[in-house]
Chains A and B, each alone.
Chain A
């Protein structure tokens, strides 16, 4: 993502997700939930489908904000709507249903920034799923070490839990992570 672009003031909605700020999150629902619901209902879904899609999209945005330094360069509402629409169209594809709405037809008024931002989100989501698959192929010990050190606890504590020294944990983790990077590298070639 180009770093020169200005961060949009709607970044506050991403921050609200990070802080679990119920009042501001409720504002997101008030603005967008109805629209997502009618889109899904119009396209062979029900209210529960719409709720699932909506929740998933917001958690994705949370993840991107927390782990991938999301910087919103477009307004939040069209961004969220676009993410939800794409998610639902993908879901329909999985269910082998042809959507009523033609793909991007009703999205013509959406800015290029928004498309770009939604694209980055989708790519990162796909990528981390791919990395996780590669991770699953590692040996048991490596998986254990990486899983524990990713939990978010202090690494000294992780070493203690695993019954190894902090130095050994660092050594083993770098070896395991290097194996993982090589696994991923080979796949992309």
Chain B
């Protein structure tokens, strides 16, 4: 009987009882202390598991904020200074310049990325004189201040994870600020959905691979774009060059 009550409680909470059974359960609940306890325990276990297993966009955004604040409040200046001998300093200086030069020149990357990655612009319809958080994020994003845009968009995404526009620009900002893996995950989810940003997301993921010169992955994502999509022409052009 005890075990039945546990199952019964689960069925009650999950909406798996019919009307008559539900009324019977609620009736018993008014005087059966043991059943009351089972119900309280059920909610407790359920919320604990949610805490552990939820895909919590707000929590992820919070962790981002905390990491930024940690850098500001916990870093000690002495940790950062590393003494180098003058010779080493000279060599490493030259090396650093070389590396930087290579990164800017990037002969292995060709100019395909520059050519095909037209930085998207976030268009927000102006509704009134008052500037909303969304307007603010758009201004930052269009000004290519991706680090700041990312923080603003994380907040918006957290408040409304279903908003495809916010998710798309948040994903792009993540990829522009060295959080490529996280950005790709977000955009891949968007691609799986049916929003108007579906193929924008696919194209952006392709661009992120092109930037890393991963041709096979770039092709894989470009080929997902059907001829009905606006990005189709560009995708096909790029596919030919790869």
Contact = CB atoms under 8 A, between A and B. Distances in A.
A33 interface: yes
A146 B50 CA distance: 9
Given A29-B73, A63-B51, A47 B79 contact: yes
Q: Name A's interface SS.
A: helix
A50 B14 contact: no
Given A131-B45, A171-B16, A68 B51 contact: yes
Nearest to A56: B66
Interface in B49-92: 49-56, 58-59, 61-63, 65-67, 69-70, 72-76, 79
Interface in B23-63: 38, 41-42, 44-56, 58-59, 61-63
Interface in A143-189: 146-147, 150-153, 170-171, 173-175, 177-178, 180-182, 184-185
Interface stretch (B112-120, B151-159, B179-187): B151-159
A63 B60 CA distance: 12
A62 interface: yes
A22 interface: yes
Nearest to B69: A29
Contacts of A55: 63, 66-67, 70
Interface residues of A, number: 50
Nearest to B41: A181
* Residue with the highest number of chain A CB atoms closer than 10 Å, among B10, B59, B154: B10
A37 interface: yes
A58 interface: yes
Interface residues of B, number: 47
Given A58-B66, A63-B51, A170 B16 contact: yes
Given A25-B69, A51-B70, A170-B15, A151 B45 contact: no
For the complex of A and B, the 10 pairs showing the least CB-CB separation, nearest first, are: A128-B48, A174-B10, A51-B74, A150-B53, A178-B7, A67-B51, A33-B73, A51-B70, A178-B10, A174-B14
Interface of A: 17-20, 22, 25-26, 29-30, 33-34, 37, 47-48, 50-51, 54-55, 58-59, 62-63, 66-68, 124, 127-129, 131-132, 135, 146-147, 150-153, 170-171, 173-175, 177-178, 180-182, 184-185
